[in-house]
Structure 1
Amino acid sequence: MDFEQAHCTFMETHTNERAGERRGRMLRGHNYAEKLFLQNVWWPLFESLEQLHPEYEVYDWNRKSQFLDFAFLPASGSRFGIECDGFQSHVKEMDREKFSYAFNRDTFLTGMGWKRLHFSFDDIQQRPEVCRMLLQLALAPYLARSTAGGEKLLSAEKEVLRLAWQIGRPLQPKEVTDFIQINFRTARKMLNSLSNKGLLQPVPGGRGTRSYELKPMHPDQSW
């Protein structure tokens, strides 16, 4: 299924699940910028729109209804609110009261367990690779999956994955030994284990494998 087909199915599914103002808000709010975010940023990373909810309703401390551009609700139980912010509507047309409320709302949602991610429309349109890099960095620790056989990741293995996400390039055993203070043989064994679990992939070089890089992840993968 290509993006256009997936997006049509995505919109049809969420439209049919809603009624009243929630349905109207989705049809009014999901426009060019939001679709472009999905096309330029989300789809190239995941090739899926599962567990993503457009124009998702939340409430502030006064029980006032608000809508997030997207809510990403993976199986791990984490909650991400994603906003596509245009300069004109989110900065130039914002008065002091709205400015204060926007910050207070984000802080309130953070207190309620949401993780808030903001992307500018200019970056979504002109520099989507930057958005993809930042999105992957933000989501990756919450999407590292259990293995197909149900085996859970060890704490040290999670630290190795975090290191790989942080440096953003192929990871070498020497970097692992320095990061978590283990010997070289143990580091190679751990990298090979993560490769066998489908989280890293070897990068051939010289006399065999010298480094490992992250494998693309699907959004329904979780610890």
Structure 2
Amino acid sequence: MSMSISVAEKEYADLLQEQIRGASGMRLEKLREQSEGERMLLVDIFWPVRRSFKGITLEKEITTLSGVKAYVDAVDESFRFGLEAEGYVSHAENITRPRFDFEKQRVRSMGALQLRFVPFSYDEMNKKPDMCRRALYELYGRYGGNAGSDNYQKLNLYEREIIRYAIWLNRPIRMADLRECLGKSNDFSTKMIKRMVDKRLLHPTNADRQRHHEYVLDKDASKYLW
């Protein structure tokens, strides 16, 4: 897991620097002020679900219905998701009435631009990251429109469900996890593990042992879901 997180941190840093180089004005200022909330949203919540920042625009500039510029923390351009990290103090406790009104206008404007508003609170991401990842995964599953893709068709229902469950767990997957996920016998779960190892979708955490108890997803496994 530490390796995945370090990869996510590096990819996020690279993405941020790349977008800073291409930004100007207020967007550039906001990119330079990226907070722990935005980092947590991208690294701890988004990355384990998607394993890529392809198509992500940080501090996406939009024009509200009243003609005022506004910004969205991160937009997945491919799925039109507007992802937000919201701290309680800045978004609730200390918010002024004019700012509150502007926030509602901003959300309505996102709807007019066909951006689906997907907010996560700082406390949720910090204390319940698995719940946040599960919610995000379900949104991608609902709006992905993936059933006709070539990658999607290469796996059966059980294989895709194992990948989803492993992403949700965000740790090495064990036999007990598979039985719970699939609702099947130990023999069936063992067969599925062998099949997915043969397809290089799962890898034993310790390849030197003859008997394996934990497996990790291949870094490209999630592409078969979308």
Per the shorter chain, which TM-score range? 0.5 to 0.7
Match of 1:173 in 2: none
- Spell out the pairing of 1:1-223 with structure 2 (5 A cutoff): 2-28=7-33, 30-74=34-78, 78-145=79-146, 146-148=148-150, 195=156, 199-201=160-162, 203=182, 205=185, 208=188, 217-218=222-223, 222=226
Across the two proteins, how many residue pairs are aligned to each other? 173
Over 3 Å counting, the alpha-carbon distance change for 1:51 and 1:100 in structure 2 is same
C-alpha distance in structure 2 between counterparts of 1:97 and 1:107, whole Å: 15
C-alpha distance in structure 1 between counterparts of 2:18 and 2:136, whole Å: 24
> How far off is 1:217 after superposition?
3.1
Deviates more, 1:105-114 or 1:137-146: 137-146
- Cα RMSD of the aligned pairs, angstroms, is 3.1
Structure 2 unaligned spans of 5+: 1-5, 163-177, 193-216
> How far off is 1:24 after superposition?
2.1
Q: Which has the higher contact order (CA 8 A, sep 6+)?
A: 1
The TM-score with structure 2 as length reference comes to 0.65
Structure 1 unaligned spans of 5+: 154-192
C-alpha distance in structure 2 between counterparts of 1:73 and 1:112, whole Å: 12
> How far off is 1:141 after superposition?
2.0
C-alpha distance in structure 1 between counterparts of 2:137 and 2:58, whole Å: 19
Query: Percent same amino acid among aligned pairs?
Result: 17
The TM-score with structure 1 as length reference comes to 0.66
